[in-house]
């Protein structure tokens, strides 16, 4: 049971937003492109890395709130395969902050029954980062609540290529010469095998692009873009995203009832009727 008192203080803006949420129609998987840390710092005449540092508080609040909302999965995009292009100091600081976060937050993840799982080309990260990731993953492996995926050294195209290579290896091992795969088989070999696709994709800082995130999985995700910069993104902004999500009409290429039956009939005769 969701404990509403843990989501908002009485009389707060948060409470008024929580009241608008329909708990019967929650997104099960929310994916977030955490963007705008650099701009947040720039607005304050601070170095970019201060934006990353400030962004940790948002990560903490959003992960904890997702657990309290009893979402199934939250996936946060923390470092893309393209982000290696950034200055060496910025990359090193991001990795240092990640290690610090994992060390400090492990107890909270355990308290909230959260299972932690990194996705991406993890073996391309520094050994000291890999160690912390493995430790957090192993410690939380038996937790049964929220699945918290963090995308690191992640690229959507890289994931698709890695998946194709994985499948080719598998087929070689099986000495299969005559084969055809389907979407289900392909999806079962992605980094996110066994994880349902995101229902809601949030991007902060107003940028209207996907930046190589979960390209396969977001095929039918609803997209919520907010101008709020990641270090300012708090639970009220997550509630707003969910309220926005619930206002959408998800059709998956079909049409709304009751007309849909008529169309199916018309289509099965190969004719389009109006
Ligand atoms: C997002 O913030 C964090 C990462 C990509 C690691 P940015 O660092 O991209 O911030 P902006 O887009 O420059 O404001
Ligand atoms: C996307 O943000 C990657 C992450 C949030 C980790 P970027 O700031 O790297 O994306 P672009 O450069 O604006 O597309
Ligand atoms: Mg950015």
Active centre residues (catalytic): 35, 83
Indicate if the pLDDT at residue 260 is higher than 80: no
pLDDT band at 257 (very low <50, low <70, confident <90, very high): confident
Mean pLDDT for 203-223 is 98
User: Among 191, 167, 211, which Cα is nearest to 119's?
Assistant: 191
The closest residue, in CA terms, to atom 12 on ligand 2 is: 211
Burial 22-50 (b: 16+ CB within 10 A, else e): eeeebbebbbbbbbbbbbbbeeeeeebbb
Indicate if the pLDDT at residue 266 is higher than 80: no
Query: For position 177, what pLDDT does the model report?
Result: 81
User: Which of 34, 37, 96 to mutate to test ligand 1, by most ligand atoms within 8 A of the CB atom?
Assistant: 37
Does ligand 1 have an atom closer than 6 angstroms to the CB of 204?
no
Concatenate the DSSP letters of all residues of 42-55 into one string: HHTT--HHHHHHHH
Indicate if the pLDDT at residue 208 is higher than 80: yes
Beta strands in 96-191 (DSSP E): 115-119, 147-154
List of domains in the chain: 26-154+196-265 (3.40.1180.10)
Pocket of ligand 2 (CB under 6 A): 33-35, 77-80, 83, 207, 209, 211
Q: Supply 56's token pair.
A: 């940790």
Does ligand 1 have an atom closer than 6 angstroms to the CB of 231?
no
pLDDT in tens, 145-202: 999 999 999 999 999 999 999 999 999 998 888 889 999 999 999 999 999 999 999 9
Query: For position 261, what pLDDT does the model report?
Result: 55
Residues with CB under 5 A from ligand 3 (ion): 35
User: Which of 32, 35, 82, 153 to mutate to test ligand 2, by most ligand atoms within 8 A of the CB atom?
Assistant: 35
83 CA closest ligand 2 atom index: 9
Backbone angles phi, psi at 57, to 5 degrees: -60, -35
Indicate if the pLDDT at residue 69 is higher than 50: yes
Ligand 1: centre distance to CA 52 (Å) = 8
In residues, how long is the chain? 274
Look over the chain and give the mean of its residue pLDDT values, rounded to a whole number. 94
Indicate if the pLDDT at residue 265 is higher than 60: no
Indicate if the pLDDT at residue 271 is higher than 70: no
User: Which of 33, 36, 90 to mutate to test ligand 1, by most ligand atoms within 8 A of the CB atom?
Assistant: 36
Question: Residue 257 burial by CB count (10 A; 0-12/13-18/19+): exposed, middle or buried?
Answer: exposed
Query: For position 1, what pLDDT does the model report?
Result: 83
Indicate if the pLDDT at residue 274 is higher than 90: no
229 CA closest ligand 1 atom index: 14
Enter the pTM of the model: 0.94
Query: For position 27, what pLDDT does the model report?
Result: 98
Interatomic CA distance for residues 210 and 219, integer angstroms: 12
């Amino acid at each position: 049971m969701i404990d509403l008192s843990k989501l908002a203080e009485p009389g707060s803006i948060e409470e008024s937003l929580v009241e608008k949420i329909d708990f019967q129609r929650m997104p099960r998987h929310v994916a977030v492109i955490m963007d705008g840390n650099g701009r947040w710092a720039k607005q304050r005449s601070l170095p970019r890395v201060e934006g990353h540092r400030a962004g940790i508080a948002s990560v903490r609040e959003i992960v904890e709130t997702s657990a309290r909302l009893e979402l199934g999965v939250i996936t946060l995009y923390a470092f893309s395969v393209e982000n290696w292009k950034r200055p060496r100091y910025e990359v090193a600081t991001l990795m240092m902050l990640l290690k610090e976060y994992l060390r400090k937050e492990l107890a909270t993840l355990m308290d909230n029954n959260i299972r932690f799982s990194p996705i991406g080309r993890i073996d391309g990260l520094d050994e000291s980062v890999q160690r912390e990731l493995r430790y957090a993953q192993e410690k939380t492996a038996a937790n049964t609540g929220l699945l918290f995926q963090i995308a690191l050294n992640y690229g959507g195209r890289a994931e698709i290529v890695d998946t194709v290579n994985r499948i080719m290896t598998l087929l070689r091992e099986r000495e299969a010469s005559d084969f055809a795969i389907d979407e289900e088989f392909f999806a079962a070999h992605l980094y996110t095998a066994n994880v349902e696709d995101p229902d809601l994709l949030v991007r902060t800082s107003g940028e209207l692009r996907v930046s190589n995130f979960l390209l396969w999985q977001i095929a039918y995700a609803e997209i919520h873009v907010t101008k709020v910069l990641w270090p300012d993104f708090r639970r009220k902004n997550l509630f707003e995203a969910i309220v926005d999500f619930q206002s959408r009409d998800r059709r998956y290429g079909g049409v709304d009832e009751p007309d849909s039956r008529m169309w199916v009939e018309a289509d099965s005769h190969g004719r389009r009727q109006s």
